[in-house]
């Protein structure tokens, strides 16, 4: 049997995902608008005091990013599962972990990267001091791929369930705790001119660890969901 | 490790699968050689689809053994067609993802496949606009560009019009004469015509329980 | 056959497991009761009150063992889940899903006793103390596993999903624990510092007794739950039918 070269299959899958995302670009905006709305609610809820907002800015932006990511995770594997694409991919002989990784990469590029790009606007709204802005962007750039990678495990576990969305958030939010702690503390430290490289370093190691481990867990979960 | 002691393309012994701690179907055993067509019959819910999914490797057997020489091609109930991609884009993606017999002539092959399954007029239309029969045809395109020698077809005739059935029969004949083999399920109303075939009738686990109780 | 494999194969068979776990359970309960009675006597009567915290320190004999159990059970679930997934041993799947409610209960006890202990110590029921916070996150991890199990229709598929989730959770658990600890020092929160190196032997002995007792409780409770689950799942199978006809005679 002439199995397709892994690289070619990986690229074919990425290209398909971008094409599908492009055809459904209106849907992609939903999590981003959600992100903007959530951040807007905070000044309305706690008052517009600039110092208060600046204090809670890293946490608010990061929690909003968490919520927006989880919102888009439910659909990560759902349509491929429901129309039979996933079972054909499993049977194609290609590594399922690699397929999971390709889907996750595509998910980050269309759902995670826009959050990173929007963060300066959010920082401005939340009155985050300029010293923290660069670190906020860096922390989101390192952290949102981790959100996608870990979230993909939850998405794969709940894909065969009719209403997996709520369960998905219950599964993945506890796993996001360390990331949230590290990222917000890095930004807060940068604002008050304290060292933050340690936190960012730990986040990078978290990214490497989840990059190597999470696709295998996702693959196992996908196989299980198909059984 | 037990090795297949002869050259069967597929050998199944005492195969069964449990769901909710009951057998979905009573254990089945059969062998399949190159050039043969096995028809799996049985009433609704007797586990035909489950059997094919077991043979494909999507499920793991609860009892028994499956010995297969290579990964078979599985065409299930779900067409694996994206609503947002055109027929051509769908087929082209699967060609790239799964590989084709002649990868250097992908463009020509793609057109040829679409022609053969009779979807040339709708080749540029999006998947969502296809009828059930057209979807079925589109999902059968894989039979034409993949080179697996064992095919597992789940209710391949459903939704097809007479021309579609004739098309599938002719694809199947070519496959069988060139040394391939096929396992096909049917609930009875549509059967392949003009083939030399084996038949395996399945009994659901529940039926047997009912029989024992009586 | 390889003796180790044979052992797993035999213990993996539900009738065998049912029979021998049934013989073990009364002993586990007996040891649990003996240790608990002696441990509570030492802890509540014999051991001195803390010179700072007074009598309220005695809640430690329940709080600390429960907190230890909550972590241990989650770790065990991951190990059993791994065995269940790799070797497809059904007993292990049943043990994973039977462990989850026990572990969640211990976590809840640790949280409630910690909160009650906090009242006299901090003057409030809830402080975002490192240990309480990580226990709370752990409780959510347990809820996730239990909710995932309950969401699937097919019990074996459900158990395998729950096993996978506990493995993923267990890999994260130490990271969560240390990050919360670090987060807490960062925000200069208060800590209970109950089991420092300076603990008096008269307090240590009852603590260790209770810690051992809770393990026997877990064992007995787990086996009873697993037996019940097996009976329910296999109620149509011959061995359960045989068992029932033996009982009725």
Structural tokens at position C247: 């009982």
Is B104 within the bounds of a domain?
Answer: no
Q: Does B84 touch chain A (CB under 8 A)?
A: yes
- B81 → chain A, closest CA residue: A83
**What pLDDT does residue C136 have?**
96
How many residues belong to chain C? 249
What pLDDT is attached to residue B213? 43
pLDDT bracket for residue C4 (50, 70, 90): low
Residue of B nearest to C153 (CA): B20
| Separation CA A116–CA A51 (nearest Å) | 23
- The answer to which of A34-38, B144-148, C95-99, C228-232 has the lowest mean pLDDT is B144-148
Q: Give me the domain span that covers residue C85.
A: 23-44+56-190+202-226
Residue A12: what pLDDT? 92
The predicted pLDDT at position B211 comes to 47
Exposure pattern of A72-91 as b/e (b: 16+ CB <10 Å)? bbbbbbbbbbebbbbbbbbb
- A170/C147 touch (CB, cutoff 8 Å), yes or no: yes
Counting as low any pLDDT under 50, the low residues of chain A are 1
- Tell me whether residues A16 and B71 touch, CB distance under 8 A: no
Domains held by chain B: number: 1
Q: By the 8 A CB rule, do B10 and B66 touch?
A: yes
Question: Chain A partners of C153 at a C-beta cutoff of 8 Å?
Answer: none
CB contact under 8 A, A167 and C137: no
Look at chain C and report how many structural domains it folds into.
1
- Which of B68, B98, B141 is the best substitution to test chain A (most A C-beta atoms within 10 A)? B98
Query: Which of C144, C151, C186 lies at the smallest CB-CB distance from A161?
Result: C151
The C-alpha atoms of residue C152 and residue C169 are separated, in whole angstroms, by 19
pLDDT, mean of residues B105-114: 83
- Least Cα separation, residue A223 to chain B (angstroms): 8
In what helix (H) or strand (E) does residue C82 lie, and over which residues does it extend? helix C60-87
- Predicted pLDDT of residue C2: 63
Interface touch A84/B98, C-beta < 8 Å: no
Token pair for residue C129? 């103390």
Angstrom distance (rounded) from CA C132 to CA C111: 6
Contact A174 C169 (CB under 8 A): yes
What is the residue extent of each domain of chain A? 6-226
pLDDT of residue B102: 62
Alpha-carbon span B198 to C141, nearest angstrom: 52
Instruction: Indicate if the pLDDT at residue B208 is higher than 80.
Output: no
CA distance C106 to C109: 5
% of residues, chain B, pLDDT over 90? 40
Q: Is the model more confident about B9 or about B205? A: B9
Burial class (CB in 10 A: 0-12, 13-18, 19+), C143: middle
When mean pLDDT is compared across C104-118, C120-134, C150-164, the lowest value belongs to C120-134
Given a contact cutoff of 8 angstroms between Cβ atoms, the answer to whether C198 and C181 are in contact is: no
- Residue C168 and residue A167: Cβ atoms within 8 Å? no
| B124 assigned to some structural domain | no
Using a CB-CB distance cutoff of 8 angstroms, which residues of chain A are in contact with residue C172? 174-175, 178
pLDDT band at B1 (very low <50, low <70, confident <90, very high): very low
Structure tokens at A198: 């340690």
In a domain, C148, yes or no: yes
Residues C137-145, mean pLDDT to the nearest whole number: 97
B126-160 pLDDT, tens per residue? 999 999 999 999 999 988 888 888 999 998 888 88
Q: Taking 80 as the threshold, does the pLDDT of residue C98 lie above it?
A: yes
Query: Nearest Cβ partner of A174 from C144, C151, C157?
Result: C144
Residue C194's pLDDT band, with cuts at 50, 70 and 90, is very low
Q: What is the DSSP string of A124-151?
A: HHTT--HHHHHHHHHHHHHHHHHHHHHH
Nearest Cα residue in chain A from B135: A83
Query: To the nearest whole angstrom, how far is the Cα of A83 from the nearest Cα of chain B?
Result: 5
Share above pLDDT 70 across residues of chain C, in percent, rounded to a whole number: 90
Task: Give yes or no for residue B214 having a pLDDT over 60.
Answer: no
Domain containing B192: what range? 1-72+150-158+187-214
- Which pLDDT score, from 0 to 100, does residue A162 have? 86
**Does a structural domain hold residue B2?**
yes
What does the pLDDT read at residue B212?
47
Sign of CA dihedral C153, A216, A15, A92: negative
- Strand bridging mode B18-19 / B22-23: antiparallel
| Chain B nearest CA to A84, separation (Å) | 4
| CB neighbours of residue B140 within 10 Å | 21
For tokens 């909550």, the residue is C70
Q: In whole angstroms, give the CA distance from residue C244 to residue C235.
A: 9
Rounded to whole angstroms, how far apart are CA atoms C39 and C203? 10
Domain assignment present for residue B105? The answer is: no
With CA atoms as reference, report the closest residue to B84 among B130, B46, B45, B43: B130
Residue C108 lies in a domain: yes
Number of C-beta neighbours around residue C193 at 10 A: 7
Q: Where are the beta strands (DSSP E) in chain A?
A: none
**Of B154, B182, B184, B201, the residue nearest B72 (C-alpha):** B182
pLDDT at C195: 47
Chains that touch A (3 or more CB pairs under 8 A): B, C
SS3 assignment, position B12: strand
Chains in contact with C, where contact means 3 or more Cβ–Cβ distances below 8 Å, are A, B
> Which pLDDT band holds residue B194 (cuts at 50, 70, 90)?
confident
B20 has a chain A CB within 8 A of its CB: no
Query: For the residues C58-69, what does the mean pLDDT come to?
Result: 93
pLDDT mean across residues, chain C: 89
Which of B171, B194, B167, B172 lies closest to B183 in space, CA to CA?
B172
Q: Which of residues 5-64 of B touch C (CB under 8 A)?
A: 18-22, 60
**Which residue in C156, C237, C239 has the most chain B C-beta atoms within 10 A of its own C-beta, making it the best mutation to test that interface?**
C156
Indicate the SS3 state at residue A17: helix
- Burial of A172-193, coded b for 16+ CB within 10 Å and e otherwise, reads bbbbbbbbbbbbbbbbbbbbee
């Amino acid at each position: 049997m002439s199995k397709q070269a892994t690289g070619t299959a990986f690229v074919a899958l990425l290209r398909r995902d971008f094409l599908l995302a492009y055809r459904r670009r209106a849907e992609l905006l939903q999590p981003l608008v959600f992100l903007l709305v959530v951040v807007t609610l905070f000044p309305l809820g706690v008052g517009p005091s600039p110092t208060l907002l600046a204090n809670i800015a890293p946490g608010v932006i990061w929690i909003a990013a968490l919520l927006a990511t989880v919102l888009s995770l439910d659909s990560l594997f759902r349509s491929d599962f429901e129309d039979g694409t996933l079972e054909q991919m499993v049977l194609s002989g290609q590594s399922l972990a690699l397929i999971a990784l390709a889907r996750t990469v595509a998910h980050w590029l269309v759902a995670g990267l826009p959050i990173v790009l929007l963060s300066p606007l959010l920082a401005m709204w939340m009155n985050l001091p300029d010293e923290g802005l660069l670190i906020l962007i860096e922390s989101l750039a390192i952290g949102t791929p981790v959100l996608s990678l870990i979230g993909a495990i939850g998405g794969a576990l709940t894909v065969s369930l009719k209403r997996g969305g709520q369960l998905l958030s219950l599964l993945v939010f506890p796993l996001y705790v360390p990331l949230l702690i590290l990222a917000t503390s890095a930004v807060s430290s940068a604002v008050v001119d304290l060292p933050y490289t340690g936190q960012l370093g730990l986040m990078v190691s978290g990214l490497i660890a989840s990059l190597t481990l999470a696709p295998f867990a996702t693959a196992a979960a996908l196989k299980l969901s198909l059984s | 490790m037990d090795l297949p002691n002869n050259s069967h393309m597929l050998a199944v012994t005492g195969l069964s699968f449990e769901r909710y701690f009951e057998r979905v179907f009573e254990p089945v055993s059969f062998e399949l050689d190159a050039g043969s067509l096995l028809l799996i019959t049985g009433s609704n819910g007797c586990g035909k689809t489950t059997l094919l999914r077991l043979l494909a490797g999507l499920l793991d057997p609860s009892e028994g053994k499956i010995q297969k020489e290579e990964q078979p091609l599985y065409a299930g109930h779900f067409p694996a067609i994206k609503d947002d991609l055109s027929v051509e884009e769908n087929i082209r993606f699967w060609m790239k993802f799964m590989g084709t017999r002649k990868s250097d002539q992908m463009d020509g092959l793609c057109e040829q496949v679409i022609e053969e399954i009779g979807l040339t007029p709708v080749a540029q239309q999006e998947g969502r606009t296809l009828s059930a029969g057209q979807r079925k045809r589109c999902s059968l395109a894989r039979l034409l560009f993949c080179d697996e020698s064992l095919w597992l077809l789940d209710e391949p005739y459903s939704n097809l019009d007479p021309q579609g059935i004739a098309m599938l029969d002719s694809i199947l004949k070519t496959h069988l004469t060139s040394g391939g083999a096929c396992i096909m399920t049917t609930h009875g109303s549509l059967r392949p015509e003009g083939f030399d075939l084996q038949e395996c009738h399945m009994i659901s686990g529940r039926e047997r329980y009912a029989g024992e109780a009586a | 056959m390889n003796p180790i494999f044979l052992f797993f194969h035999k213990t993996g068979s539900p009738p065998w497991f049912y029979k021998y776990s049934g013989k073990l359970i009364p002993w586990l309960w007996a040891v649990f009761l003996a240790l608990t009675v002696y441990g509570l006597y030492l802890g509540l009567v014999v051991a001195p009150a803390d010179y700072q915290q007074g009598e309220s320190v005695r809640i430690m004999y329940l709080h600390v063992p429960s907190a230890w159990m909550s972590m241990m059970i989650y770790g065990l679930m991951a190990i059993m889940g791994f065995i269940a997934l790799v070797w497809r041993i059904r007993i292990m799947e049943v043990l994973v899903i039977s462990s989850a409610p026990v572990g969640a209960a211990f976590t809840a006890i640790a949280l409630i006793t910690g909160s009650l202990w906090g009242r006299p110590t901090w003057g409030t029921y809830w402080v975002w103390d490192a240990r309480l916070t990580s226990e709370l996150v752990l409780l959510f991890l347990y809820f996730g596993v239990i909710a995932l199990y309950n969401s699937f229709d097919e019990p074996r598929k459900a158990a395998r999903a729950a096993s996978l989730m506990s493995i993923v959770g267990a890999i994260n658990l130490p990271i969560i624990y240390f990050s919360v600890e670090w987060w807490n020092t960062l925000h200069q929160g208060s800590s209970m510092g109950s089991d420092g190196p300076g603990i008096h032997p008269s307090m240590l002995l009852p603590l260790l007794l209770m810690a051992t007792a809770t393990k026997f409780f877990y064992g007995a409770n787990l086996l009873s739950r697993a037996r019940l689950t097996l009976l329910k799942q296999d109620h149509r199978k011959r061995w359960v039918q045989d068992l029932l006809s033996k009982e009725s005679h």
